[in-house]
Amino acid sequence: MNWHGIRAIYRFEMARTLRTLAQSIIAPVVSTSLYFVVFGAAIGSRMGDIDGISYGAFIIPGLIMLSLLNESISNSAFGIYMPKWSGTIYELLSAPVSAMEVVMGYVGAAASKSVLLGLLILATARLFVPYSIAHPFWMLCFLLLTAVTFSLFGFIIGLWADNFQKLQIVPLMVVTPLTFLGGAFYSINMLPPLWQKVALFNPVVYLISGFRWSFYGVADVNVGISVAAILSFLALCLGTIWWIFRTGWKLKA
C-alpha cells in the first residue's frame, strides 16, 4: 500500500478546502442555519410534536443529511473532475499509485470534509433548538458511512461528467428533491397509506430514518433495513468504480 501517495492526494484535497473555506464550510453551515431559524425556531414553535419530539429537534437529522449528501457528492465529484479537465489525470494514472489508493485519497478527503461539516451543523443547531442524541456511537457510524458512500457516488459522477454543469445535475435535480421527499421535514407515517408505500421507493428515506433513530430512538423504517440499504449502495458504488478503472471508461478517452 502506497501510503505516501494516498497522503499526498488527501492533503492536496484538504488544502483546497482551506483555500475555499467560505464556499466549502461556511456557506453550507449558514444556509442550514437559516433552515433552523425558519423551520425550527419560527415555524417549529407553532407546530405540535412529532412522535413526541418537538418539530425543531425533529428536523435536525434531516437537515444534516441534506447537507451531508450534497457536500459529499460535490466535494468528491469536483476533486476528481479537475484533473480530468486540466489533463493531469494522465499523470495520476501513470503515477505509482493503484486505483484503490487514488480512490482512498480523493474519497477520504471528501468524506472527512463532509463529516466535519455535519458535526459543525450539529453544533450550530444547539444554538437554535434543544436536542438529544440517544445513540451517539450509531449517530457517528451513520454519519461516517453515509459520507463515505456518497463520496464514492460523487467520485463516479466526477468521472462521468463532461463539463461543470453535469457536476451539479445529480445533486440539484436528484438528491435534493429525494431528500425533501424523504422525510427530512416530516415523518412518512404522516402521509396517506398509498403515499407511504410510494415513499419506501425513495432510498433517502432509509438514510434519514436510520439517522433520526440514532438521535431519538424513533424511525419510519426498521433500522436494520436502513443499514442494509446504505451498505448495498456502498457495495454498488465500489463495484462501479472497480469497473471504471478496469475498463478505462471516461478515463482514457
Q: How many CB atoms lie within 10 A of CB 90?
A: 12
As a whole number of angstroms, the distance between CA 218 and CA 11 comes to 39
Using the structure block, give the residue that is written with the C-alpha cell 450539529. 122
Proportion of the chain above pLDDT 90, given as a percent: 48
As a whole number of angstroms, the distance between CA 90 and CA 205 comes to 39
Strand partners of residue 53: 50
Each residue's pLDDT tens digit, 134-167: 999 999 999 999 999 999 999 999 999 888 888 8
pTM reported for the whole predicted model: 0.91
**What pLDDT score was predicted for residue 45?**
66
Proportion of the chain above pLDDT 70, given as a percent: 96
As a whole number of angstroms, the distance between CA 118 and CA 137 comes to 15
Q: Is the pLDDT of residue 171 over 90?
A: no
Q: Report the alpha-carbon angle 11-140-8, nearest 5.
A: 10
Give the chain's mean pLDDT: 88
Of the listed ranges 25-29, 68-72, 83-87, 94-98, the one predicted with least confidence? 25-29
Q: Which three cell numbers stand for residue 78?
A: 469536483
**What pLDDT score was predicted for residue 163?**
86
**What pLDDT score was predicted for residue 87?**
81
As a whole number of angstroms, the distance between CA 222 and CA 65 comes to 18
**What pLDDT score was predicted for residue 41?**
66
**What pLDDT score was predicted for residue 116?**
92
As a whole number of angstroms, the distance between CA 16 and CA 80 comes to 13
Q: Which three cell numbers stand for residue 37?
A: 431559524
Q: Is 108 in contact with 77 (CB distance < 8 Å)?
A: no
Q: Is 80 in contact with 226 (CB distance < 8 Å)?
A: no
